[in-house]
Chain A
């Protein structure tokens, strides 16, 4: 149980375009999902908390207009990187908590974004 998927697993785009990454909880309803960014050989950095039916909560220093998050249903959250630039290239990982176990998060497989 508690499986989280992400799509796509890899994406390459041109500078200036927007990219949407999907995060789905496959076998449970996730009222809260989290979006992380991971640089090579580095730890995970929490970008934002995605709450179903309400606005996302962004961590300090994360541009909310750059990284648009939508959590329209209990099983789907999306992260849109708008007007992407090469410095946005990274590994983006989402996670979700089950309603009865908010102390534990289950991670998706990640999305490798490369901006040319």
Chain B
């Protein structure tokens, strides 16, 4: 069975500070990993995805994530947070052949202090 754990329910950072959101997964095969962002009352927007190759993945809006197989982790990072980054962030893992079968974590709410 596949599962995703996002250990931090809520994170608060100051604008301009760095950010790291944690994601740990459990998956029996080679994982396809995703990070999504959801603004209040909106759908999910894909930030980045990892399937293979370079374990450091660049995404949109200045985000990056690093896949660490030994730690079963796929943490999301941003060097300098903007107030507009305040949102809900979801990590997901799934099979490559069927995106709809992805399993989502419970999400991390990011608050940005001015």
Q: Which residues of A contact B (CB under 8 A)?
A: 4, 6, 32, 34, 41-44, 46, 49, 91, 93, 95, 97, 102-110, 112
Q: From the candidates B32, B43, B102, B106, name the one contacting A110 in the complex (CB within 8 A).
A: B43
Do the beta carbons of B43 and A102 come within 8 Å of each other? Answer: no
Task: Name the residue of chain A whose CB is nearest to the CB of B109.
Answer: A41
CB of B43 within 8 A of CB of A97, answer no
* Chain A-chain B contacts (Cβ-Cβ < 8 Å), number: 62
Q: Considering only CB atoms, which chain A residue lies closest to B42 in the complex? A: A109
> Are the CB atoms of B42 and A103 closer together than 8 Å?
no
Q: CA separation between A91 and B36, bound complex, in Å? A: 17
- Inter-chain contact A43/B90, CB cutoff 8 Å: yes
* Nearest CB in chain B to that of A33: its residue: B100
- Give CA–CA (A91, B90) in the complex, Å: 16
Question: Given that A97-B99, A102-B97 are contacting pairs, would A107 and B104 also be in contact in the complex, using a CB cutoff of 8 Å?
Answer: no
Q: For the complex, what is the distance from the CA of A95 to the CA of B45, rounded to whole Å?
A: 11
- Closest Cβ of chain A to B8, distance in Å, is 14
CA distance A103 to B44 in the complex (A): 16
Picked from B34, B44, B95, B107, the residue with its CB within 8 Å of the CB of A93 is: B44
Cβ-defined contact, A95 with B90, below 8 A:
no
Q: Does B96 contact A (CB under 8 A)?
A: yes
- Our pick among B36, B95, B100, B106 for the contact of A97 (Cβ within 8 Å) is B100
